[in-house]
């Protein structure tokens, strides 16, 4: 299964849909996945999955606001915007 880290600023409407569906009231501490990147920095994410990909969406102060804004006005998000993804190694 492919694993992808996504910054909140690079979210597609598909990933936002999955986030809003999985976390309709927002995420809490038990939903957060923490790990160290190659630079030794602690990264905090929340996870959403498709059939072939696990998306780890980086948590920032703006992620929840982005989710709320998306719920309020889906038409303001550009579906054609380029998405910069960082692939992780598959485990197993």
Question: What are the residues whose beta carbons fall under 8 Å from the beta carbon of 66, sequence distance 6 or more?
Answer: 8, 11, 16
Beta-strand runs (E) in the chain: 2-6, 33-36, 42-49, 53-58, 86-88
Number of Cβ within a 10 Å radius of residue 48: 21
Spatial contact of 47 and 55, defined as CB atoms under 8 Å apart: yes
pTM: 0.65
User: How confident is the model over 40-80, as pLDDT tens digits?
Assistant: 888 889 999 999 999 999 987 666 666 677 777 755 555 54
User: How confident is the model over 2-15, as pLDDT tens digits?
Assistant: 999 998 778 888 99
């Amino acid at each position: 299964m492919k694993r992808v880290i996504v910054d909140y600023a690079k979210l597609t409407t598909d990933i936002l849909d999955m986030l809003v569906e999985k976390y309709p009231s927002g995420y809490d501490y038990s939903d957060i996945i923490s790990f160290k990147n190659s630079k030794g920095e602690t990264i905090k994410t929340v996870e959403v999955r498709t059939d072939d990909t696990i998306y780890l969406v980086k948590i920032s102060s703006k992620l929840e606001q982005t989710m709320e804004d998306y719920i309020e006005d889906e038409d303001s998000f550009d579906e054609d915007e380029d998405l910069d993804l960082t692939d992780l190694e598959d485990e197993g």
